[in-house]
């Protein structure tokens, strides 16, 4: 082989070897998008090839699930928007619930009065609270409230319109001090207990749910504090 041809062959071989050893996916025209992985969540993110451009979350990314402080900060900063449309932010309700529990544990859940002084109670009801009767007669002087709200439990959120009375005002009306816990009893014998830390001024003795009293009255914790569930067919409340 002639020297000139040999040199050309060597140069060609070197170019082929260099191309084969180059990392895939790093070439492309300026400004083209490439796909990488977020270090904090492991989710795919789309990054701009332009220098200085901000990374943007892809449409398929699962948003923060509480694994890092950054995830928690995102949840707190966007709390109201997330609560309004959980599926838009989290693929799993468990992710939302876990962050809500953490937020409650840190004492970061903001209190907002969710009860609106409107509505009326026309259905007849009878309850016993700490040995005292609570009926339409005892409730006659109380303000009726309406809460269009989602009750968050471990399993899911219950979205409904509740109409009835503020529990703290019912206790005051009956001369009962704010309890440390309440034991709820339904007419079928079902029993459920709430700690005082899970009760606030948004907790209701609701008479109707979505306009119906068919399975009421209800102990309805219309609060962002995490609770086991609401109680229907309520007949008695013991306080401690």
Write out pLDDT tens, residues 88-106: 998 888 888 888 888 878 8
Q: How far apart are CA 60 and CA 43, in angstroms?
A: 9
Q: How far apart are CA 60 and CA 91, in angstroms?
A: 10
Q: What range does the domain containing 188 cover?
A: 126-239
- Within a domain: residue 179? yes
Q: How far apart are CA 173 and CA 94, in angstroms?
A: 38
Three-state DSSP at 235 gives strand
Together in a domain, 175 and 214: yes
Q: How far apart are CA 71 and CA 47, in angstroms?
A: 20
* Residues in CB range of 70: below 8 A, 6 or more apart: 40, 64
Together in a domain, 232 and 138: yes
Together in a domain, 162 and 138: yes
Q: How far apart are CA 72 and CA 127, in angstroms?
A: 41
DSSP string spanning 143-168? PPEEEEEEEE-SS-EEEEEEEEEEHH
- Within a domain: residue 198? yes
Q: How far apart are CA 203 and CA 187, in angstroms?
A: 20
Strand-pair category, 145-152 with 203-209: unpaired
User: Are residues 216 and 123 in contact, defined by beta-carbon separation less than 8 angstroms?
Assistant: yes
Together in a domain, 231 and 207: yes
- pLDDT given for residue 49 in this prediction: 27
Q: Which residue ranges in the chain fall short of pLDDT 50?
A: 2-8, 10, 13-14, 16-66
Together in a domain, 134 and 214: yes
Together in a domain, 106 and 130: no
Together in a domain, 76 and 104: yes
- pLDDT given for residue 171 in this prediction: 93
- Within a domain: residue 16? no
Together in a domain, 102 and 137: no
- Number of domains present in the structure of the chain: 2
Three-state DSSP at 53 gives coil
Half-sphere exposure of 234 (CA within 13 A, CB side): 30
DSSP string spanning 98-149? HHHHHHHHTT-PPP----BS-----S--EEEETTEEEEHHHHTTSPPEEEEE
User: Are residues 220 and 164 in contact, defined by beta-carbon separation less than 8 angstroms?
Assistant: yes
- pLDDT given for residue 23 in this prediction: 44
Tens of pLDDT, residues 63-74: 344 456 788 888
* Residues in CB range of 240: below 8 A, 6 or more apart: 179, 180, 181, 182, 183
- pLDDT given for residue 151 in this prediction: 76
Together in a domain, 101 and 130: no
Together in a domain, 143 and 218: yes
Together in a domain, 221 and 194: yes
């Amino acid at each position: 082989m002639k020297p000139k041809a040999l040199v050309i062959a060597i140069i060609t071989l070197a170019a082929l070897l260099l191309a084969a050893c180059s990392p895939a996916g790093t070439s492309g025209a300026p400004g083209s998008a490439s796909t990488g992985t977020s270090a904090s969540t492991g989710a795919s993110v789309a990054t701009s090839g332009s220098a200085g451009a901000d990374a943007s979350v892809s449409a398929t990314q699962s948003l923060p699930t509480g694994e890092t402080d950054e995830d928690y900060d995102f949840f707190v900063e966007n709390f109201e928007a997330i609560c309004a449309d959980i599926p838009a932010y989290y693929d799993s309700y468990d992710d939302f619930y876990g962050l809500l529990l953490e937020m409650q544990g840190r004492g970061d859940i903001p209190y907002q009065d969710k009860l609106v002084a409107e509505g009326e109670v026309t259905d007849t009801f009878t309850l016993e609270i700490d040995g005292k009767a609570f009926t339409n007669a005892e409730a006659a002087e109380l303000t009726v409230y309406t809460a269009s709200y989602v009750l968050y439990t471990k399993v899911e959120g219950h979205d409904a319109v509740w109409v009835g009375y503020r529990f703290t005002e019912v206790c005051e009306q009956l001369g009962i001090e704010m309890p440390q816990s309440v034991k709820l009893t339904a007419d079928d014998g079902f029993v459920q207990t709430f700690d005082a830390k899970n009760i606030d001024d948004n907790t209701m003795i609701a008479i109707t749910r979505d306009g119906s009293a068919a399975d009421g009255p209800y102990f309805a914790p219309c609060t962002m504090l995490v609770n086991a569930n609401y109680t229907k067919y309520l007949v008695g409340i013991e306080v401690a």
